[in-house]
Amino acid sequence: MLLFSLLLALQALLVHSAALRRDSLTTAAREKCQTTLQCPPGTLVVSSTAHPLANFTTLQSAIDALPNDNSSQTILILSGSYHQQVNITRAGPITLLGEQPDPAALTDAARNTVNLTWAAANEDNTGESVDNVYSSVMIVSPTLDASLTGSGTTGYPVPADTPFGNTDFRVYNIDFRNTWADYTDGPAHAISFSRSNGGFYYCGFYSYQDTVYIGKLGSAYVHSSILAGETDFLYGFGTLYIQSSQILLRSCGGGITAWKGTNTTFVNNYGVYIHDSTVRAANTSIAPDIKGACALGRPWNSLHRSIFANTHEDGSIEPSGYIDWEDRWTANQTLMAEYRAFGPGFNLTGREESEVSVLLGDKGYERYSSIEKVFLGDVAWIDWEVAA
């Protein structure tokens, strides 16, 4: 076990070093670009208004202009609101930067000045149901098939020969807002992310139902961001690691998490992991209405896996923590857990009396205790200058 841990640590160090060598956009260069608009050569600039530096008026037109190769590309989006649906299929590395004129606000997602918005749920203009992906503000996926959520507990059967998508997708200081309704009115993605690797830093994700969808073979790392919703607003088949972020409850419905685990033939850590974060009512006006009423999650299927680790929970969380969903919870298969959670929403008696909530000890948590362990060493796409 000690030898394995040493080898994993050595692998992580090598991966971190390789990632820093490969990524020419250092934190200093990125922040200079975001605050002063002095960007590395080749950076594309998007503005919703006339601006002498801008090449494009929409993010989609800038994405479409990128070369179809494996080169690293950067796009700076100037302050403003952009009402558009964005679709990204490119496999080569992409970095999206949101302008932030105030250097002091670069690490505060609540002060972002770039908003990507879209207003849609899972229905077309005739009222007929469509796949959830069509509601998304942004879709990152190599093909349409790879992005489809499908129905039922196993979802859409993505063809086995579907290629992998973006290998290194990074976003800084951008908000994704699905403005379909001010309440739960069907799935309304802020982002759909499938068969790709991506990091989101100081971003905001706002909707009510199904805010963040991480599809099959999707790996996403979210750092110092805001994730807001009401019903099952963190869900998917892939792997989502949330670090030092705010989970905002706009009301209560279903659970915060509703993962659809996938039974594969290889070892995996599919699931959602919330580390060193806060879970709280979105504002003081809603807090009294949802006190003790919000569930940490419910199992979309029996392979649901979610962990709230070292995370503060306010009084919105119901005493049991997690809840079942149509008897989908299965012993020794479903993992709906907490590790050293704390705050007024952590009710030890309620958790111990629950038939579905799990309180992990150090040994049970060890497998999920670091970014490298969750993503099984494949972490070169993470910005280690931020994540370290």
Interval 243-256: pLDDT, tens:
999 999 999 999 99
Going by the DSSP 8-state scheme, the letter that residue 279 receives in this structure is E
Long-range contacts of 283-289 (CB under 8 A, 24+ apart): 286/249, 286/250, 286/251, 287/314, 287/315, 287/316, 289/251
Q: 81-387, what's its fold?
A: Pectate Lyase C-like (2.160.20)
Q: What is the pLDDT of residues 257-310, one digit of tens each?
A: 999 887 565 678 999 999 999 999 999 999 999 999 999 999 999 999 999 999
pLDDT above 70: residue 133: yes
Closest by Cα among 287, 279, 291, 208 to 246: 279
Give residue 264's pLDDT: 60
Helices (H), 65-210: 144-147
**Tokens read off for 154:** 């196993």
How is 318-383 classified by DSSP, letter by letter? -TTSS--STT---TTT-EEEEES-BSTT--HHHHHH-SSEEE--HHHHGGGSSHHHHTTT--TTS-
Cα dist. 103→33, 43, 86, 111, 202 in Å? 11, 20, 27, 11, 13
Q: Is 24 left (phi over 0), alpha (psi -120 to 50) or beta?
A: alpha
Domain ranges of the chain: 81-387
Residues 6+ apart with CB under 8 A from 178: 117, 118, 119, 120, 135, 136, 137, 188, 189, 190, 206, 207, 211
Does the global pTM surpass 0.75? yes
- Alpha-carbon distance 272 to 305, whole Å? 7
Give residue 266's pLDDT: 65
Dihedral sign computed on CA atoms, order 56, 62, 64, 65: positive
Give residue 13's pLDDT: 41
pLDDT above 50: residue 322: yes
Give residue 265's pLDDT: 59
**Tokens read off for 60:** 């989609």
